[in-house]
Structure 1
């Protein structure tokens, strides 16, 4: 019985985390592409420390994972997280955000981390 209380509390904290428009948009974007912080800075037009704070919260919740590629840290959705099916289901109801990546590419700001 105690386990279900923990799951509801954890689910509520995940939903609260995604209740922030910037974080929800980031997660939707990470559902189709991996990004580095500097790309998010270019897309959201907010400071690097603010973006890093959002990413850290998502990472602390286990929703996002990081991979180092040379000097870059690349963020992706953690599809192994127990809450990924819930998050993925939620994301299916949201419009694609891929146009933000296209805008970044058109501005020449897409980072090539390979």
Structure 2
């Protein structure tokens, strides 16, 4: 598999993990330092199975590391992975810097623009 495709897939997994409000809140907590699962449970007033689901998403994306200490899991933010995602997002070209590729199927840009005008008019 192409290395670039693999990296994009990894970034998509991270973005999916961050696409939930509770998981974003957990990330915010962990940004202040490692926490025991019991502390996270208390902070959110959620059930243990719900926390396990969210932590599985975050650890599966490598944004969060976990270590078992006794009967409890302790979680910490994986700064390197999180920074890598931020760097990746920062490298996505802004629309004004991205080349537009027009297909020749509709006669090029002039034809596409006139078609768009016709659609916009009632």
| TM-score range normalised by the length of the shorter chain | 0.5 to 0.7
Note the 1:16-55 alignment, pairs <5 A. Answer: 16-55=16-55
Unpaired stretches in structure 2, ≥5 consecutive residues: 88-122
Q: TM-score, normalised by structure 1?
A: 0.64
Q: TM-score, normalised by structure 2?
A: 0.60
Instruction: Please identify runs of 4+ aligned residues in structure 1 that moved more than 4 A.
Output: none
RMSD: 2.2
Between Structure 1 and Structure 2, the one with more helix by share is: 2
Unpaired stretches in structure 1, ≥5 consecutive residues: 90-114
Deviation of 1:48 (Å): 0.9
What SS does the aligned partner of 2:66 have?
strand
Aligned to 2:109: none
C-alpha separation between the residues in 2 aligned to 1:49 and 1:37? 11
* Larger relative contact order (Cα-Cα within 8 Å, sequence gap ≥ 6): 1
